[in-house]
Structure 1
Amino acid sequence: MDSRIGYDDDFYAWTQEQARLLREAARERLNTPIDWDHVAEEIEDMGRNDRRAISSHLAHVIEHLLKLEFSPASDPRSGWRKSVREQRAAAVDALADSPSLKGHVDLPLAFHRGRGLAIDGLGQDRVDERDLPSDCPYALEHLLDEGWWPANRHGLD
């Protein structure tokens, strides 16, 4: 096998390397009936799907961390905490499968999406969206740390 990146070591990096190798093989015009370009594109897409999944998990972590931090409501805090735990675990697992994805996390985009979700949910608690930060106040390490929680601004928790 020509690849230097192991499938089991870093799936995302493997997909990108395999796509590159397939495109090289296509340029060499090997006489086979394989649709090299589309096979390479599909493999590359598998890696992009993992990247999007991590972004989605982080958006939900951010959504519920913002709710835990800014909501004056006493319920459904346990549900928000459960969601954070589940989404953190999914993101951590995906990053364990593809460690190179950590360098491709678009935290501002995940924050933008998570903030929007939080705004939708916090409106019923009469939290003004202007009270929420406009930039992500959480480090990626905090978002992934199962023991880290923001303090509630209303003294709850």
Structure 2
Amino acid sequence: MERSYPRDPEWEAMPDVGLEVWPHSPPDTAAYGEARAQALQAPEVEKPFSENLANEALDIPRSQERALSYRVSALMASLARLNHCDDEPTQADMRLIQEQRMLVAMQLAGSPSLQQRLTNPAWVADCWSDALASLGAIGVRVENLPEDCPWDQDALLDGPQPNGRNR
């Protein structure tokens, strides 16, 4: 049975205020959050109000960067495990790498300004450390893995599938 709700003429008469200021899907959410924060930090905006809103706007790129960091670390861990293990990779392993690469690509498509993180040596080193920590937690001997991330941006995102024979 379909429910019908009473109409609220007062609600229907309300204008769609703010949609032009806060679009539903900006092309680059991280850059959009940073731009909103800068606009809110302008001198003509009331300070206590603008500081709170600017911090909230900066949470957008921070959360996008955290999500990218998590996805890149997971991809690095999977590649390292498969490239430096004795077993032949299974189809499930290969599919996992493919899906992780797709998730990273989707994240970067939604926030192209985050692409520069992949060329930042400190950021990549942080992701690699997270990858090593997660591998160590599941019993992989991380002392046999390289000290630094062995992949550049291209190899990480579009490189060949792991072969399971690089020890």
TM-score when scaled to structure 2?
A: 0.73
Q: Does 1:41 align with 2:41?
A: no
Q: Following the alignment from structure 2 to structure 1, what is the Cα–Cα distance between the partners of residues 55 and 117?
A: 19
Q: What are the within-5 Å matches in structure 2 for residues 66-145 of structure 1?
A: 66-74=80-88, 77-105=90-118, 106-123=123-140, 128-145=141-158
5+ residue gaps in structure 1?
none
**Percent identity over paired residues:** 24
Q: Does 1:153 align with 2:165?
A: yes
SS at match of 2:41: helix
How far apart are 1:154 and its partner, in Å? 6.2
Q: Following the alignment from structure 1 to structure 2, what is the Cα–Cα distance between the partners of residues 138 and 104?
A: 14
Matched pairs, number: 141
SS at match of 1:110: helix
Please tell me whether the aligned partners of residues 71 and 122 of structure 1 are also in contact (alpha carbons under 8 angstroms): no
Q: Does 1:15 align with 2:33?
A: yes
Relative distance call for 1:29 and 1:101 in structure 2 (3 A) is closer
Paired AA for residue 133 in structure 2 = G
Q: CA RMSD in A?
A: 2.6
Q: Deviations over 1:56-92 (max 9, x none)?
A: 00111011101111111347x3333232222211111
- Runs of 4+ in structure 1 displaced over 4 angstroms? none
Q: Following the alignment from structure 1 to structure 2, what is the Cα–Cα distance between the partners of residues 35 and 86?
A: 42
TM-score when scaled to structure 1?
A: 0.77
Paired AA for residue 29 in structure 2 = F
Q: Deviations over 1:14-72 (max 9, x none)?
A: 11011000111xx3145xxx832111111111111001101100111011101111111
How far apart are 1:117 and its partner, in Å? 1.7
5+ residue gaps in structure 2?
1-19
Relative distance call for 1:154 and 1:112 in structure 2 (3 A) is closer
Relative distance call for 1:152 and 1:29 in structure 2 (3 A) is closer
Relative distance call for 1:98 and 1:42 in structure 2 (3 A) is same
